[in-house]
Structure formats: C-alpha cells, structure tokens
Amino acid sequence: MYSNVNEKILVLVLISLLIIPIQDGFSELNVATNNKVFSENQPLFVYGKGLPNENLIIRLFAPDETIARFDQVISNDDGSFNHNLITWPSPSSSFPFGTYTVEVISTEQSGVSQKIDVKFTITDELVEVPVERHVNTLVFAPETAVVNQLFRVFVQTTSDGLLIGNDPSKLLDTTHVHLPSGKVKTLSDSFITLH
C-alpha cells in the first residue's frame, strides 16, 4: 500500500516539475553603457551579451519614471549586441536633466533584466565630491563596578553602518579612561577582537 502511495506522489511531483516553469539560475545577460554621464549631442550606446540571436528590449526611463525611449534589438550569433539608444537632445520638458535608467530585458530568459543609471547633465565632466564617512563607536559598559574586580567593556566601531575590522590596538590606539582620582589610564593594549 505504501509503495503505491509513494509512486503516486512521485508521479505528481514529476508532473508539477514539468508544468511549473523553473527560473534559469544561469541566465546570461550582461549590459553596459559607453559612459555614465552625458550632455547634449552625445550618443548613449548600450552594449553587452545575451543568448545568441536573442530578442532584447531596451528601455530608457526618464527621471519621472516614464519611458523616454523604447527599442528592440536582436543579439548577434555570438550573443553580443551594440545599440545606439539615443543621441541626447537639447534639454526640454520631454528630456530634462537628471538621472535616467537604462533597462535591457531578455524576452527568452524568463524576463531577466539589467538596469543601469546614467546622468544627463549640462556637462559630461565629473566633479570631484569628497567622500563623507560616518564613524560611530558604541561602548557597552556595566552601570556599576566593584572596587578591585575586573569587568568587561565591549566596543563596537562602525563606518557607515559596517563593522570596522583590524588590529584593535591600532584602531583604538588613543582610547583612555579618566579615573575619579584625576588620573588617565590608557586602554589601547587592553582590547582584543571578539569576532
């Protein structure tokens, strides 16, 4: 009796695997653009590689998320493609300055897509912007301590929310404690890494 039930379950599982489409985990779609920042009269080339002779949809989304351009191309026999999506016009209400999104969609790989953000500005020169980091140090210490008894203090240091690793004696080199007596005790040699 059990073998008959197991056979029915096995048949149902096999049928369901044939009916339900399985997403291809090894889909092949690589996309790039000739630049990231564009100005008036510059071409936006979209290129990459998909499956051989694959139908690809290329869309350009404006800053307000409307579709500013829509093209369809077929990749070459080796899967490569290269398409001049647009030559940037003069800025207008239809094509304002801002961040645009290029999306390439495969029609043969279960709708696999890739997106790239590009900027349409008055100049294509990049401006150096200093990187601002936010370093936070959290100290977890007991509220009370007993005289002549050891206690632990946990220190967590992050940069932009990510833990900072390295040798704690170098990272926390200037760490010290001000004692009630007015003395300053250096703690740089007292730190060890927990994880």
30-40 pLDDT, tens digit each: 999 999 989 99
d(CA 39, CA 60): 16
Q: What does the chain come to in residues?
A: 195
**Domain ranges within the chain, ordered by starting residue:** 25-120, 135-190
The mean pLDDT of 18-36, rounded to a whole number, is: 70
More confident residue, 7 or 34: 34
Question: What is the full DSSP assignment across the chain?
Answer: -HHHHHHHHHHHHHHHHHHSPPP-TT---EEEES-SEE-TT-EEEEEEE-STT-EEEEEEE-TTS-EEEEEEEE--TTSEEEEEEEE-----SSS-SEEEEEEEEETTTTT-EEEEEEEE-S--PPPP------EEEEEE--S---TT-----EEEEEETTEEP-S-HHHHTTT-EEE-TTS-EEE-GGG-----
| CB contact at 8 A, 110 and 22 | no
Q: pLDDT for 42-94, tens place per residue?
A: 999 999 999 999 999 999 999 888 999 999 999 999 999 999 999 999 998 88
d(CA 187, CA 167): 14
CATH level 2 (architecture), domain 25-120? Sandwich (2.60)
CA 97 from centre of chain? 24
